[in-house]
């Protein structure tokens, strides 16, 4: 979606769960990272790039997405978005037109 300052509210058709990382002691002096739901929101998901990299005789594919949502004050590095079984690691986020209305999130789809 090219951003011209307006977004059709009907374009936010994906129901996502914003998850935050939680570190739980593992009983051996370390921690185990899990995620807990922070909020449920409506968004628009746009695939942007699919890149294949050969590694150890396999061809893993990395898919990145732009996810548009209404402004969120509580985004931070390490968070992720979930749509059913699909997971999106948040890599960067910004206010696309500096009006405080929307947040544009750059994500990488990760395998659970």
Instruction: Return the pLDDT at 52.
Output: 65
Instruction: Return the pLDDT at 111.
Output: 79
Single out the residue of 27, 22, 17 nearest to residue 81, CA to CA: 17
pLDDT(60) > 70: no
- Residue 42: inside a domain, yes or no? yes
Instruction: Return the pLDDT at 74.
Output: 92
> For the domain that residue 39 is a member of, what is the CATH number?
2.40.10.270
When pLDDT is averaged across residues 86-112 and rounded to a whole number, the result is 91
Residue entry with tokens 């996810």: 67
The answer to whether the pTM exceeds 0.85 is: no
Residue span of the structural domain in which 91 resides: 11-110
Half-sphere exposure for 98 (CA within 13 Å, toward CB): 0
Share of the chain above pLDDT 90, in %: 59
């Amino acid at each position: 979606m090219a951003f011209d300052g307006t977004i059709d509210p009907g374009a936010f058709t994906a129901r996502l769960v914003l998850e935050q990382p939680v570190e739980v002691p593992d009983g051996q002096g370390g921690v185990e990272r899990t995620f807990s739901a922070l909020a449920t929101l409506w968004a628009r998901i746009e695939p942007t790039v699919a890149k294949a990299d050969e590694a150890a005789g396999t061809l893993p594919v990395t898919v990145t997405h732009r996810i548009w949502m209404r402004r969120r004050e509580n985004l931070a590095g390490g968070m992720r978005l979930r749509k059913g079984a699909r997971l999106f690691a948040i890599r960067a986020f910004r206010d696309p037109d500096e009006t405080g209305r929307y947040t544009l999130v750059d994500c990488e789809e990760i395998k659970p």
